[in-house]
Amino acid sequence: MQFIGGWSFYTDAWAGLKRRAHNMDVLIALGTSIAYIYSVVDVFAPTWLPVGVSERDVYFEVSAVMIAFVLMGKTMEEIIKKRSSAAVRKLLDLQPATATVIRDGMEMTVPADAIDKSETMLVRPGEKIPTDGVVLDGSTSVDESLLTGESLPVAKQAGAELIGGTVNGAGLLRFQASTASVQRLADQVTGWFVPAVVVIAVGAAGRQGGNHQGPAAGRAAGGNGGRWPTSASPSAPVRMWPRRPATSS
C-alpha cells in the first residue's frame, strides 16, 4: 500500500521539489513515509528508538488509511470532473482563440494558450478578454453576465481585476495577465503550509526526545531518578508517616 498505492504521491512530490514547489503531495509522501519507516524500525530494530518500551507503537494503519483517503478523494474529483466536462467546455468556449499582446513595444496577435504570465495585453471595444488580469490603464464597462449572472455591465478602471471570457464594452483597455486571486492565495498558502508543518513536526520530535532523556539524566546525576533523597544525606528531607497506634493485649 505504501509504495504501490502511494507511488503517485512520490512522483508528484519529486516533480514539485524539482520546481521548488512545496505542494500537498510532498506533505503526504513525507508524512506517510515517516510513519511507515518508524513502524518498520519499531518491529525489526526497536532498540534504535529513543522511547520507552511502553510508549512504542506501530503506525502502518495510519499510513495506509491516509493514502487510501487521499486516493479516494482524487477518484471522486475525477468523477466530478467528467460529469462537469460539458460545463467546462462551455466555459472554455467563452475564451477567444487569439489575444493582442505587447512585446518589445509592438502589438502582435498570438494564440490565447500562448500567453505568458504577467504579459501586457490590449483589449479593444467589443472584444472578449482572453485571460484573467489587472487593468493597467483605460476605463470601460465589462459584461460579466455569462460568468457571474450580473445583468448590468461592471465598470473597470486602473487597478480593477478582469475575468477571462468576459466581454469588453466601449473602452480600450491595457491590462496585465495574472492568475486568479483565489488561485494566487491557494499557491501562497500551500507554499508556506508545507514547510511550516515540517518545522513544527521536527520541533515536536526534538522536544519529545528531550523529555525522554530527562529521567535518564536524573538517574545519572542523583542516582535515584528524581525520587526522594535517601537518609544518608544529612540535609535530605525525611518523609514522615503516621505511626500505627499501639494496641493493648
Span 167-195, pLDDT tens digits: 999 999 999 887 655 556 666 676 777 77
Q: What is the CA radius of gyration of the chain?
A: 32
| pLDDT, mean of residues 227-243 | 45
Residues in the chain: 249
Spatial distance between the Cα atoms of 122 and 110, rounded to a whole number of angstroms: 12
The pLDDT, as a whole number, for residue 140 is 93
Q: Which of 8-17, 107-116, 130-139 has the highest mean pLDDT?
A: 130-139
Closest to 119 (Cα-Cα) out of 110, 232, 80: 110
3-class DSSP state of 223: coil
**CA–CA distance, 29 with 9 (Å, rounded to integer):** 6
Q: For 108, which DSSP code? A: E
End-to-end Cα, the chain, rounded Å: 75
Which pairs with CB-CB distance under 8 Å and at least 24 residues apart come from 151-159? 159/134, 159/135
- Cell 515517516 sits at which residue? 34
Q: Percent of the chain, pLDDT > 70?
A: 71
With cell 448590468, the residue in question is: 152
Spatial CA neighbour of 193 closest among 23, 9, 20, 12: 23
Which of 91-105, 130-144, 214-228 comes out lowest in average pLDDT? 214-228
Centre a 10 Å sphere on the Cβ of residue 139 and count the other Cβ atoms it contains.
15
Residue 220 is predicted with a pLDDT of 43
Give the three cell numbers for residue 137.
490603464
- Give the sign of the dihedral formed by CA 155, CA 139, CA 159, CA 165: positive
Q: How far apart are CA 231 and CA 237, in angstroms?
A: 8
Percentage of the chain exceeding pLDDT 90 = 10
pTM above 0.75, yes or no: no
Mean pLDDT to the nearest integer, 91-114: 82
In contact, 10 and 32? CB cutoff 8 Å? no
The distance between the two most distant Cα atoms of the chain, rounded to a whole number of Å, is 118
Q: What is the DSSP string of 173-185?
A: EEEEE---HHHHH
Question: For residues 76 and 94, which has the higher predicted lDDT (pLDDT)?
Answer: 76
